[in-house]
Structure 1
Amino acid sequence: MNTRVNDEPAASSLTEQAYAVLRDRLVMLEIKPGEPINEERLRTELGVGRTPIREALKRLEQERLVVAYPRRGTFATDVNISDLSHISEVRRTLEPLAAAAAAERATAEDRAALTELRSRLDTAPPSGDNTELLRVDVGVHRSIYGCVHNPFLEDTLISYDNLATRIWCVFLPRLSGMAGHVDEHVPLLTAIVEGDSKKASELALQHVVGFERAIRALI
């Protein structure tokens, strides 16, 4: 009985580890849309058992990143550009809400972390690597979501940002101005750090609308 209880945190940690690695590979299209998920290879690569992998895949299926078919296996979901309007509709509502909430609720520790992040963005030389810029974009979004201090909203925000990022990845080779898109985070982070919820909300909305406009220009 005691052994089972003591093993639960370890099992949960392994599932989270597998989930985080798989999620980010799927989001960045390192696992291509439609590609089968090889559980055995992942077990070997990540050094975890069958259960953590399968628990992680169940969660990823709920987040629309993988799809499981009876007797066929589990596959990375396709990226459907037709989903852009639906994803953007949700993000146009939730991203400004989250930015305003972050400005109001961020702790002193949160604000210090965002200030450091803003400083790194502001002083870093422009990168010509769109993939790396997109990773930075994802990281900034997740940092802001954490300052909302609402785990339900945070999970929802991350899920939709992941879906939007997969669409970005499809168009990365053709995108220009990606550095400018990431630079938009500097004034947004400033507004949150300074507790200006109205400004933060406005900037977050502009950021989401800009994303949709940039993708539609390439369709």
Structure 2
Amino acid sequence: MTSSTVAGQGHGTLADQAYRSIADRLVTLQIRPGEPINDERIAGELGFGRTPVREALKRLEHERLIVAYPRRGTFATEVQIADLGHISEVRLQLEPLAAALAAERASDGDRAGLDRLLAQLAKSSDGEGDLIRLDMTLHRAIYAATRNPYLEDTLIRYDNLATRIWCLFLDRLPGLAGHVHEHGPLLTAIIDRDAEKAKALAASHVKGFEVAIRSVI
């Protein structure tokens, strides 16, 4: 896997760009759970100064992707399977809400973007890295279409945590392509402004995710 971000690398402040790059590495396990985080090394790899990287790390700590210990250093958080139920509990409430709001509020530009993603999904390869990033991109496009920045930020945070668990068990989950392609009917429902159908499909997707993970742990 490359260290490219799922979306928007060139947008926002340097701290925003550093955040997206580091988050992508953490979520896709290029930085493994428990691995130490060296801000100077990461700054060098990204071509940024240490200040935007440190700002990004503070945000990532708040989002529970890294943890800092006094006199010990900063580390990628361990993946706690016990958190799966808590994460799913939140997502089961908010993902259907986001899907319904996206169906109701998506602009013509949003719908055109979702239509392009639907075409991209139909042509997607079975490469794990590509599918994972496409999955994250699809989720973020739906969240953005809600036109609620607070809901969008919250769901990105929980989607990151859920995707990290997914990546940890990827070698034992044979249905990756099927899981990602479930988004096809969901995107279609949002594009068609069918809020109730979008809501039901999003709920089914979240439930299916938890069932799939629990089947291999």
**Bin of the TM-score, shorter chain as denominator length:** over 0.9
Q: Which residue of 1 aligns with 2:75?
A: 75
With structure 2 as the length reference, what TM-score do the two structures score?
0.92
Q: Which residue of 2 aligns with 1:17?
A: 17
Counterpart code for 2:195: S
- Once the two structures are superposed, residues 120-159 of structure 1 have per-residue CA deviations (whole angstroms, 9 ceiling, x without a partner) of 212x1551x3332122111110111010111111000000
Q: Which residue of 2 aligns with 1:210?
A: 208
Task: Give structure 1 regions of 4+ aligned residues with deviation exceeding 2 angstroms.
Answer: 129-132
Identity over the aligned pairs, expressed in percent? Answer: 64
**Structure with greater helix percent:** 1
Q: Which residue of 2 aligns with 1:156?
A: 154
Counterpart code for 1:191: A
Question: Across the two proteins, how many residue pairs are aligned to each other?
Answer: 206
Backbone CA RMSD of aligned residues: 1.0
- Once the two structures are superposed, residues 103-136 of structure 1 have per-residue CA deviations (whole angstroms, 9 ceiling, x without a partner) of 00000000011011111212x1551x33321221
Helix, strand or coil: the match of 2:13? helix
1:140 aligned residue (130, 138, 146): 138
Runs of 5+ consecutive residues of structure 1 not aligned to the other structure: 1-11
Helix, strand or coil: the match of 2:169? helix
For residues 196 and 125 of structure 1, the distance between their equivalents in structure 2, rounded to whole angstroms, comes to: 25
Runs of 5+ consecutive residues of structure 2 not aligned to the other structure: 1-11
For residues 147 and 216 of structure 1, the distance between their equivalents in structure 2, rounded to whole angstroms, comes to: 30
For residues 30 and 50 of structure 1, the distance between their equivalents in structure 2, rounded to whole angstroms, comes to: 20
Pairing of 1:180-219 with structure 2 (within 5 A): 180-219=178-217
- Once the two structures are superposed, residues 131-188 of structure 1 have per-residue CA deviations (whole angstroms, 9 ceiling, x without a partner) of 3212211111011101011111100000000000010011001111111111111100
Displacement after TM superposition at 1:13 (Å): 1.1
Q: Which residue of 1 aligns with 2:39?
A: 39
Larger radius of gyration: 1
For residues 199 and 87 of structure 2, the distance between their equivalents in structure 1, rounded to whole angstroms, comes to: 18
For the 8 Å contact 1:171–1:215, the answer to whether it is kept is yes
